[in-house]
Amino acid sequence: MTQTRPFSTRWGRIALIVLAPLIIAGCGYNTIPTRSLAAQEKWAEVQNQYQRRSDLIPNLVNTVKGYAAQEKSTLVEVTEARASATQVKVDASTITNPAAFQQYQQAQDKLSGVLGRLMMIQERYPDLKSNQNFLALQSQLEGTENRISVSRRDYNEAVQAYNTTLVTFPQIIWAKTLHGDAKPMQLFTASVSAQAAPTVSFDTTPPPPPAAPASK
């Protein structure tokens, strides 16, 4: 004779199946992977904007070279800095690897610095400064630099939210158990050049001599 399970037992198991996902979600189990994916999405956008900048540089260098070939050292620096930046291999794991992340940021910050010097030489060459191709490239580069700044800020905000999740209750429970492979992500920091804008002057006129003291 087959025994029938009590009605209450069957409904209890059904309720457990229905409520278990809600209980897990309420405890923050999904918060870590959700914020991790959000940070990775922002990281991908940072890479996209740096790639956009890298793609602009060859045309920019060639345009400047046509009007300011004597600025060879600066042009070489830009070309070499671009090559160094593009040679740094990055992927999703870079943001949890302090050494790899620092290498990437340093290479990109160095390129930013030499690009800034390249753009400043336009003041010495009126023909370059008024060249339509140069002006278009300059506008695109400025727009890209702005997007880089925004994407780095958005990435930092997403990473801050994710890293905080790993060390706060109740998500820390999941970080120590079922999400034990979750690692804190690296943040972009302001470069030295970004913290102190240089004062640039192309005026080579020597200052006037000090006035002679008035005779008594």
Both tokens of 148, joined, read 């880089």
CA geometry: angle at 108 spanning 106 and 113, to 5°? Answer: 90
Range of lowest pLDDT (9-18, 106-115, 150-159, 178-187): 9-18
Question: What is the structure's pLDDT at 29?
Answer: 84
Q: How many CB atoms within 10 Å of residue 53?
A: 23
Longest dimension (CA), the chain: 132
Q: What is the pTM of this model?
A: 0.78
Per-residue pLDDT at 198 exceeds 60: no
Q: Which helix (H) or strand (E) holds 197?
A: none
Please name which of 112, 115, 117 lies closest in space to residue 148, comparing C-alpha atoms.
112
Distance from C-alpha of 51 to C-alpha of 44, rounded to nearest angstrom: 11
Question: What is the structure's pLDDT at 12?
Answer: 53
- Please report where in the chains the tokens 């905000």 appear, as a residue: 157
Per-residue pLDDT at 102 exceeds 90: yes
Secondary-structure class of domain 22-175 per CATH: mainly alpha
Q: Could you tell me the residue ranges of all domains in the chain?
A: 22-175
Per-residue pLDDT at 23 exceeds 50: no
Distance from C-alpha of 143 to C-alpha of 192, rounded to nearest angstrom: 22
Mean pLDDT of 102-117: 96
Per-residue pLDDT at 36 exceeds 90: yes
| pLDDT-derived band at 128, boundaries 50, 70, 90 | very high
Q: For the segment 56-87, what is each residue's pLDDT rounded down to a tens digit?
A: 999 999 999 999 989 999 999 999 999 999 99
Question: What is the structure's pLDDT at 81?
Answer: 97
